[in-house]
Amino acid sequence: MKVLYVLLFAALIHLLWCSSAHGQPPSEEQAAQRQSFEAEYEAWKRDCDLVAYSSRASDRLESDHFKNIVAMGPGVLPYLVERQQQDPDFVWAGWAWGYIARVNTDPAVNPWAKESIASWWSTSRKETPGRFAKLYSEWKTLKGEHKEELSKEKLRQIQSLGITGLPLMIQELHKGRAEFIPIISELTDGVVDSNSTPAQCLAWWESSRDKWLIPFPNGRPTAKVDPDKIAVAGHTVQLDGSASTDPDGDPLSYQWIQIGGPVVTLSDATARNPTFVAPQVTRQTVLVFQLVVDDAADLSRAVPTPNSKSAPSSVRITVSPTQ
């Protein structure tokens, strides 16, 4: 019976993962992490049941199992979001999310504090760069007007975005924006010293970024080109990638390359429908072009996006000689 239980549990982990945004089986490390999370989560729920009479949040947050979940870091956020959706009555799951993602849930500080966990999970990858840019622009205005207290409050609002904003702060550090170092120190619980130089902070990020990046979901886009066609030498030919799609409705960027035939110049290799002039040939000649679409190019390059690039799609253009 014990062997059967273990097999069923392993099958459940595999099924849940494959139905997630990753779309592929987990590694052994990920499967082990999932198993550890599930054990700690259930144990934490039992601890919460034992103090159900208490209205104090601290009685739930002092559980060793809660602390173990938080210590697992951003990698368990997909599991936490999934469990919260399956068990919405267990409201304490939101505390674990807040502690891991470092999101400030105080509306007086965070303009987006009322956002649900599910909404945050599905939209933050796309929304955070815009939110960060808005708050940072407002901070620079206040700083330029020498409104020190208001500018400090704006920095607190930036910090309220949590570790989702870390890659964006790091991007600013590359420009020498040292004002973000104390925020990064706070978000990492002092792992980064508040007196670090930008170079030291960047070195920390390069060595530790995988520990702090949130694995937000993203459906992979599909590149689709027009059917193969025949063209006449010297005539203008248009390639067409407009049938490409994204399952999340994200805007797409386009990248065309030529992988076969006499080299021609595309009017714009990043356009949806670029054109070129068919080369002069003495016999039928095939040109081959490949398209890859990306649903994250409109985001900052600092925000990692899994599955953002499509598989390539190709089209063959057969050029005939001028009659």
Give percent above pLDDT 90 in the chain: 70
Beta bridge partners of 258: 289
- Tell me what pLDDT residue 7 has: 37
The 10s digit of each residue's pLDDT in 182-216 is: 999 999 999 999 999 999 999 999 999 888 988 88
What is the SS3 string spanning 249-262? CCCCEEEEEEEECC
What average pLDDT is seen over the chain?
88
State the amino acid at position 18 in one-letter form.
Answer: C
Q: Are 163 and 74 in contact (CB under 8 A)?
A: yes
For 1, other C-beta atoms within 10 Å of its C-beta total 5
State the amino acid at position 127 in one-letter form.
Answer: E
Q: Is the pLDDT of residue 297 over 80?
A: no
Instruction: Dihedral sign for Cα 263, 264, 269, 272, please.
Output: negative
229 membership: H or E segment, kind and range: strand 229-232
Give percent above pLDDT 70 in the chain: 89
Burial code (b: 16+ CB inside 10 Å, e: under 16) for 207-245 equals eeeeebbbbbbbbbbebbbbeeeebebeeebebbbeebe
- Tell me what pLDDT residue 301 has: 52
Which residue bears the tokens 């030498």?
A: 233
Q: Is the pLDDT of residue 25 over 50?
A: yes
For 32, other C-beta atoms within 10 Å of its C-beta total 12
Is residue 220 in some structural domain?
no
Residue after which a domain boundary falls, among 101, 126, 150: 101
- Tell me what pLDDT residue 125 has: 84
The 10s digit of each residue's pLDDT in 237-279 is: 999 999 999 998 888 999 999 999 999 999 999 999 999 999 9
- Which residues neighbour 141 within 8 Å (Cβ) at sequence distance 6 or greater? none
Q: What are the CA-CA distances from residue 48 to residues 54, 56, 61, 94, 200 (Å)? A: 9, 11, 9, 14, 41
Is residue 217 in some structural domain?
no
Q: Is the pLDDT of residue 15 over 50?
A: no
| Same domain? 128 vs 172 | yes
| Same domain? 10 vs 94 | yes
- Tell me what pLDDT residue 302 has: 56
Q: Which residue has the higher pLDDT, 183 or 10?
A: 183
The 10s digit of each residue's pLDDT in 134-183 is: 999 999 999 999 999 999 999 999 999 999 999 999 999 999 889 999 99
| Same domain? 124 vs 89 | no
The residue range of the domain holding 43 is 2-101
**How are beta strands 229-232 and 313-320 bridged, if at all?**
parallel
Is residue 272 in some structural domain?
yes
CA torsion angle 309 253 277 240 (round to 10): 80
Residue after which a domain boundary falls, among 182, 212, 242: 212
Residue after which a domain boundary falls, among 212, 241, 273: 212
> Residues for the chain: how many in total?
323
| Same domain? 28 vs 53 | yes
Burial code (b: 16+ CB inside 10 Å, e: under 16) for 282-304 equals eeebebebbbbbbbbbebeebbb
Q: Is the pLDDT of residue 113 over 70?
A: yes
Is residue 161 in some structural domain?
yes
25-42: average pLDDT: 89
204 membership: H or E segment, kind and range: helix 198-212
Reduce the DSSP state of residue 184 to 3 states and report it. Answer: helix
| Same domain? 131 vs 197 | yes
| pLDDT band, very low/low/confident/very high, at 308 (cuts 50, 70, 90) | confident
Instruction: Dihedral sign for Cα 96, 97, 103, 107, please.
Output: negative
- Whole-number Å distance between alpha carbons of 38 and 45: 11
Q: What are the CA-CA distances from residue 112 to residues 3, 119, 149, 164, 270 (Å)? A: 47, 11, 21, 13, 35
Is residue 97 in some structural domain?
yes
Give how many domains the chain has, as a whole number. 3
- Which residues neighbour 77 within 8 Å (Cβ) at sequence distance 6 or greater? 97, 100, 101, 121, 214, 215
- Tell me what pLDDT residue 307 has: 79
Reduce the DSSP state of residue 200 to 3 states and report it. Answer: helix
The 10s digit of each residue's pLDDT in 42-63 is: 999 999 999 988 888 889 999 9
Which residue bears the tokens 């909404």?
A: 119
| Same domain? 126 vs 187 | yes
Is residue 309 in some structural domain?
yes
Q: Which residue has the higher pLDDT, 18 or 274?
A: 274
- Tell me what pLDDT residue 148 has: 94
- Give which of 291, 292, 287, 276 is closest to 316, Cα–Cα: 287
